[in-house]
Amino acid sequence: MTQIIQKDPALTKKNSKKSQFLIGVRIEGASKSKLYNPGKQNFRVGTQVVVESNDGPQMGIIASNKIPNITKTEDKPPRVLRTFNQHDLQIQERKNKTEQHAKELCQQIIRKLKIEMHLSRVTFIKHKKKIVFFFTAEGRVDFRQLIKELVSHLKQRIEMKQMGVRDEARSIKGYGVCGETLCCSTFLEEFTPVTIKMAKDQGLALNPSKISGACGRLMCCLQYEHQTYKELSQAMPKIGSNIQTPEGLGKVLKNNIIEQSILVRHEDESILTYNTEELPKQQK
């Protein structure tokens, strides 16, 4: 005879109950904090902790506390395992030494083999017995011999990951021409296409040194206000076109999209500035 056991609804509800609060933890080397489940532990902001991740336990620091948990019930944020202790410090020091040694060794072999690649950073994943080498290169790279020599010296699994120049700038970090920390290393979740047309639509001088970021590519911030510039420019005449003004016919020399003003040269060589509202409606 089969016995049917019914689960207590109250008990099931209790077990599925999610944590009321989460905490923000910034992993070592990360650009911003992520949400973690503190369980029944209480932490102060600034406390060093060890958290779980796909790459094994990682060290981090509490950046924010008691964040209301608005995640879905089925979502399970990673947990905070414990506060950082002396044993964790020793593990971290050994990890750093391993990564530094691996990086120096890899750079030596790259120079010896004359491989056209630039080593960016190295990550040692202890529980997987694997060392990941991140690099940039103009094209495809044959690093089979490089891997053989690294395995021979390091006695670990080796993985090579090619990065884009934007990803490299994100990992290195730094400051933009605006004086602020790079957007890619602070709040940008992912990279979206940035085109030269965005710079043209905003009336910027197409000088590479003015519109390029630390990575050498077009600045990510060109896309932030592009839609606004695009909408505002619809009311502006084309540069070089002839338009009718209160003082007569003139040629458009320059548009100031933000101020919605137009610089016009008249037939008598006089140069005047007009607001778009001053021009006949058919010229907008």
The token pair that represents 205 in the structure block: 């001088």
Q: With 90 as the cut, is the pLDDT of residue 141 above it?
A: no
Quick check: 154 and 102 in contact, CB under 8 A?
yes
* pLDDT at residue 13, as a whole number: 45
Q: With 50 as the cut, is the pLDDT of residue 64 above it?
A: yes
Mean pLDDT throughout 209-215? 89
- Rounded-to-integer distance, Cα 82 and Cα 63, Å: 15
Mean pLDDT throughout 251-270? 87
31 or 39, which is more confident? 39
Q: With 60 as the cut, is the pLDDT of residue 12 above it?
A: no
Beta-carbon count within 10 A of 104 CB: 12
68 or 108, which is more confident? 108
93 or 3, which is more confident? 93
**Please, which pLDDT band fits residue 17 given cuts at 50, 70 and 90?**
low
Q: With 60 as the cut, is the pLDDT of residue 28 above it?
A: yes
CATH 3.30.300.20 domain position(s) in the chain? 89-163
Angle at 14 between CA 11 and CA 15, to 5 degrees: 90
* pLDDT at residue 15, as a whole number: 44
- Range among 41-50, 85-94, 101-110, 246-255 with highest mean pLDDT value: 101-110
Quick check: 237 and 255 in contact, CB under 8 A?
yes
Quick check: 124 and 133 in contact, CB under 8 A?
no
- Rounded-to-integer distance, Cα 115 and Cα 59, Å: 34
Mean pLDDT throughout 191-219? 89
Amino acid present at 179: G
Q: With 70 as the cut, is the pLDDT of residue 5 above it?
A: no
Tell me which residue of 232, 249, 251 sits closest to 240, measured CA to CA.
251
* pLDDT at residue 42, as a whole number: 85
- Rounded-to-integer distance, Cα 64 and Cα 43, Å: 10
- The region of weakest confidence among 10-24, 58-72, 145-159 is 10-24
Q: Which fold has domain 89-163?
A: GMP Synthetase; Chain A, domain 3 (3.30.300)
Q: With 80 as the cut, is the pLDDT of residue 55 above it?
A: no
Question: Mean pLDDT of all residues in the chain?
Answer: 84
129 or 9, which is more confident? 129
* pLDDT at residue 4, as a whole number: 43
**Please, which pLDDT band fits residue 100 given cuts at 50, 70 and 90?**
very high
Beta strands in 85-125 (DSSP E): 118-125
Percentage of residues in the chain having pLDDT higher than 70: 89
Q: With 60 as the cut, is the pLDDT of residue 182 above it?
A: yes
